[in-house]
């Protein structure tokens, strides 16, 4: 788990990804209402947690890693504007999550992330929220 300056750097990196993807979306002719409607669609991957933390973390992580929208974006560069716009909204969503401290999940549970623990642990605020 990351702490202090490293966590701050990763959160700032997420904010930059959000800003870059949103700017490129606008410059690519995307409509803002589509951006806002689609922005939280990647969070549907959390439904995998209905099957348990191992399956949930697997699906969540593949949808919340930059690799997947980056590949879609690269494949879309030739002449597929919808794919490119989708990749940009997707990347913006991931950046937003990282900025807020929601990282990739470990199979132990939704609250265990590569950016630290999310939420409260045993009634005590987690170090993730205390150090932010």
Q: Phi and psi of 116, rounded to 5°?
A: 120, 180
Reported as a pLDDT band with limits 50, 70 and 90, residue 122 is low
Determine the distance from the C-alpha atom of residue 87 to the mean position of all C-alpha atoms in its chain, rounded to a whole number: 12
In the prediction, which pLDDT does 117 show? 80
Strand order in the sheet with 105-106: 105-106, 109-113, 116-117
Domain borders along the chain are 4-131
More confident residue, 127 or 19: 19
In the prediction, which pLDDT does 119 show? 74
Cβ(114)–Cβ(7) below 8 Å = no
Cβ(31)–Cβ(81) below 8 Å = no
What is the helix (H) or strand (E) element at residue 34, kind and residue range?
helix 32-38
Joined tokens for residue 49: 């947690």
Summarize the confidence of residues 74-86 as an average pLDDT.
91
- What angle, rounded to 10 degrees, do the helices at 4-27 and 81-100 form? 150
């Amino acid at each position: 788990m990351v702490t202090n300056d490293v966590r701050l750097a990763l959160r700032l990196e997420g904010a930059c990804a959000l800003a870059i993807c949103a700017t490129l979306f606008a410059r690519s002719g995307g409509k803002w209402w589509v951006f806002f409607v689609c922005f939280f669609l990647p969070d549907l991957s959390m439904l995998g947690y209905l099957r348990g933390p191992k399956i949930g973390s697997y699906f969540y992580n593949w949808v919340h890693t930059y690799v997947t929208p980056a590949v879609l974006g690269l494949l879309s560069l030739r002449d597929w504007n919808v794919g490119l716009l989708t990749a940009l909204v997707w990347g913006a969503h991931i950046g937003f999550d990282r900025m807020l401290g929601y990282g990739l999940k470990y199979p132990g549970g939704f609250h265990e992330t590569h950016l630290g623990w999310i939420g409260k642990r045993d009634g005590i605020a987690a170090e993730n929220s205390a150090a932010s």
